[in-house]
Amino acid sequence: MASSRCSSPDDDGYKRFTDEAQQNYGSNDPAANSLDEMGSRSSLSREVDVGNDHWGMNYHEAAIFLEEGENNEKFDSHPRHPAALPAYLLVHNNWYYGLDLIASLVLLALAVAEEPAVADFTLPVGIHGTLELMALGIITIELFLKLQWTGFSTIWKHKRTSIKAGALLIMACEALIVLIRQESHFRVTRALRPIFLVDTKVCGNVRRFIRQIFQSLPPILDMLGLLMFFVSSYALLGYYLFSDHHHNLYFKTLPDSFVSMFVLLTTANFPDVMMPSYASSKWNAIFFISYIGTVLYVLMNLMLAVVYETFTGIEKDKFRKLLLHKRKACKLAFPLLVSKQNPDGIKFKQFSGMMQYYAPRISNRDVVLIFRQLNASGSGSLTSEEFFGIYDAASLRWHLKDPPDPWFNAAWPPLRFVCRAARALVLWKYFEHIVYVLIIGNGVAMFIRIAQSAQSLEESATMFSNSWDTYLFLSIFLFEALIRVIAIGWTQYIGSGWNIFDLGVTLAALLGSLVLLFNPTFTVVVILRPLRLLRLFKLKKRYRDIFGTLVLLSPLMWSTAVVMLVMYYFFAIIGMELFASSSEALKNCCVNTTVEDFFKYSANGTTAIGYYYMNNFGNLLSSGVTLFELTVVNNWFIIMDAFAHVTNQYSRIFFMLFYLYTMVVLTIVVASVLEAFRFRIQYKRQTSKRDEEQMLLEEVRVEWNSLISQVQDSKYIDGLRTNFVPGGVTIYVGKRRRNREVLQRRMYMAEIEKWLVEDEVLDRGIDLREVAEGILDSRLRDSTA
């Protein structure tokens, strides 16, 4: 099938839904596959081919293609008719995205106000019902807008859309029923609300991460199978060995035994589960030690290894697919930007016209520079190969190669003198050393302050965060920041993350000290003073690697956090519907079970461990904390046992599923951290400082005369006079941001070429295709297996 050739990496669910689209974007007919033909037959422009705004429409469509490539959307959601354009533009709009996000967040937030509500946020049924209907209404309207140009049949064909539409329908009905009955019923469907959040534009990475989780599932499930074999075998053995011991409640029945061994898999009930048997014979320890040795130290580690291997394969494949998808977008956009006279090159006029739509915020100067950078051959028109660099080039930040003198050169002479002195000081080789010594001095002062005895906690906090030495060091640090700002200018100063950290922490500590001055009980601010010490870790290479990895990882960390929160929400809603009513029953529950002691409630809190009744599903926030405790795993079985006792034994399924879910996500998190760190280290090893500089910087040399001949638009030229030296030569430097994609592009250089060749082979309608597809398939299978 031809369509497999432009299958997008993100939205596997999407299917081409009209024959027309098939013909446009990937016909099986070899003749139709030549890029020129594709361009001239492309839907939007075809309609207006004879009109006056021929180029305008083409620019617009090319920009849409590029956007789709960037956002990793399938090209079948591309508007196929000029009449669909208004709806398309409305949907692809920051205001629209914002509204969508707000509506989905409001919908999520409602769970705080609905029964069982968080105490201070309770709302009457009428109000939260109406709010819900409003949010659902907004989302419904948005969905209708989208369907305007993708066609209503998408509801049936596109999985995500159909789930969304279904969820909308059910929720609207339920909200209406709630409003009519003026009472909440058993509404477990609320757990599906995160669907709307995940479907918003900002959550593209989250969707990809969720897909990654699903792709990592098969190996995890396999390992779980092996684990369960051992759990069951040991449960059986444990039952036969210990079930007739007195007072051994862990192995009374076979299900008890299974639960005990399942929990022991997480070590949460160790050594308690061993103790009664250990008390009857010391040799029983062998049973438990061999179990933990096999299951925990061997199999669980192998599970991590399996997931890690899968994850690494997926990461590379994801990069490959995204790259090929972007390339496809360029291939589709290219023919729209060439004239019939010159079908092999994009002229500057067309390029800048397209850029107006694709990136309206990029200045004319930058458009010129991007064009120049892309046009490596210097021919004056971009070939299709050159045009593929557009995404990378558009992300460059441009500045003059030889910047004018420091910012203060035009300043009042005495000020200029001060600035020069500051600059000399900052550039002095011992300046950094002095700063580090000061930071250490600050640390020593803190130690002394902590060691001093104080009458009360407030006094101690004041001594720590509000004494003369606090202010001394804070003012020194502020002075340091000031000198740096003067020396290198504000823009360059905040260009470094470490500087932002320094200044932020110093200002926060100052603010904290002032707060403490007026409110001595607000002792939480003591944390602000030690934070400055973190800067010391920058001194050592390994710590820089670690912080660098954290920066590389941050997008993934955000996705993970959102996925975790979304699933917390899901489980919290279900937990509340199932267990909210049992919250009070937890106090003094579970008499004669192994967890009895943990629920012995004493009103004045004299017991150290009797607080577990608080881990309930009374409202959304309590549920969140309870679920977090389950995530941490330690002692999670105490909560499970209690609910199994006060409701019924099947409630364990909820807790066990949640445990398995968190285990999966956390294993993937560990795998991703490992992968990112390893990637960074290998990158560092392969790339010298100089290589990296070369990679991150692009130099563009613009001669005024060639510029005039290239632009051919006097108005446009006039606007460039301030940026380029008329009649002379100007050199600009474009800087890449050092994100994961850029590093990956460098690391996989050799492979990229191979992928492109494979893609090229697939893209031509030649006989080789099927062979190549076979090869590719088997390779993919290998890499994902």
Residues 158-197 contacting its own copies, CB under 8 A: none
Using CB under 8 A, which residues numbered 277 to 296 contact its own copies?
278-279, 282, 285, 289, 292, 296
Residue list 80-139, contact with its own copies (CB under 8 A): none
Question: Which residue, 351 or 679, has its beta carbon nearer to its own copies?
Answer: 679
Binding mask 659-698 for its own copies (x = CB under 8 A): -------x--xx--xx-xxx--x---x-------------
The CA distance from 8 to 762, in Å, is 14
Residues in contact with 172: Cβ distance below 8 Å, sequence separation at least 6, in sequence order? 133, 136, 140
The DSSP result for 318-369, as a single string, is: HHHHHHHHHHHHHHHHGGGG--SS-TT-B-HHHHHHHHHHH-TTS-HHHHHH
Per the listing, tokens 């920058």 go with: 538
One character per residue 298-317, x = contact with its own copies (rule: CB under 8 A):
x--xx-xxx-xx--------
Q: What are the respective helix, strand and coil percentages of the chain, to the nearest 5? A: 75, 5, 25
CB of 308 to its own copies, least distance (A): 6
**Segment interacting with its own copies, rule: CB under 8 A, options 21-29, 192-200, 276-284, 413-421:** 276-284
User: What is the residue type of 704?
Assistant: W
Beta strands across the sheet bearing 397-400: 397-400, 729-735, 697-703
Q: Select from 236-244, 466-474, 488-496, 568-576 the region that touches its own copies (CB under 8 A).
A: 236-244
246 binds its own copies (CB under 8 A): yes
Residue whose CB is less far from its own copies, 192 or 533: 533
417 lines the binding site for its own copies (CB under 8 A): no
Number of residues that bind its own copies (CB under 8 A): 102
Residue 530 touching its own copies (CB under 8 A):
yes
Residues whose CB is less than 8 angstroms from the CB of residue 498 and which lie 6 or more positions away in sequence, other chains included:
535, 538
According to the binding rule CB under 8 A, does residue 236 interact with its own copies? yes
d(CA 334, CA 387): 8
Q: Which stretch binds its own copies (CB under 8 A): 315-323, 490-498, 587-595, 644-652?
A: 587-595
* Residue list 599-658, contact with its own copies (CB under 8 A): 604-609, 611-612, 614-615, 621-622, 625, 628-629, 632-635
Residue recorded with tokens 């002032």: 514
- Is 440 a binding residue for its own copies by CB under 8 A? The answer is no
Q: Which alpha helices (H) appear in 117-203, and where do they start and end?
A: 125-150, 154-157, 159-181, 194-198
Positive or negative torsion for Cα 379, 381, 384, 385: positive
Q: CA angle 186-187-188, nearest 5°? A: 105
Minimum CB separation of residue 578 from its own copies in Å reads 21
Span between the terminal Cα atoms of the chain, in Å: 24
Among 182, 233, 281, 452, binds its own copies (CB under 8 A): 233
Nearer to its own copies, 15 or 538 (CB): 538
Interface with its own copies (CB under 8 A), residue from 156, 537, 555, 766: 537
Two structure tokens written together for 562: 């959102």
Residues 454-513 that bind its own copies (CB under 8 A): 457, 460-461
- Cβ pair 532, 502 in contact under 8 A: yes
Asked whether position 785 contacts its own copies by CB under 8 A, the answer is: yes
CB of 557 to its own copies, least distance (A): 8
Q: Which is nearer to its own copies, 14 or 617 (CB)?
A: 617
528 vs 241: CA distance, rounded Å: 56
What does the alpha-carbon distance between residue 721 and residue 780 come to, in Å, rounded to a whole number?
Answer: 53
Give the nearest distance from C-beta 208 to its own copies in angstroms. Answer: 20
The CB-of-662 to its own copies minimum distance in angstroms stands at 11
563 binds its own copies (CB under 8 A): no
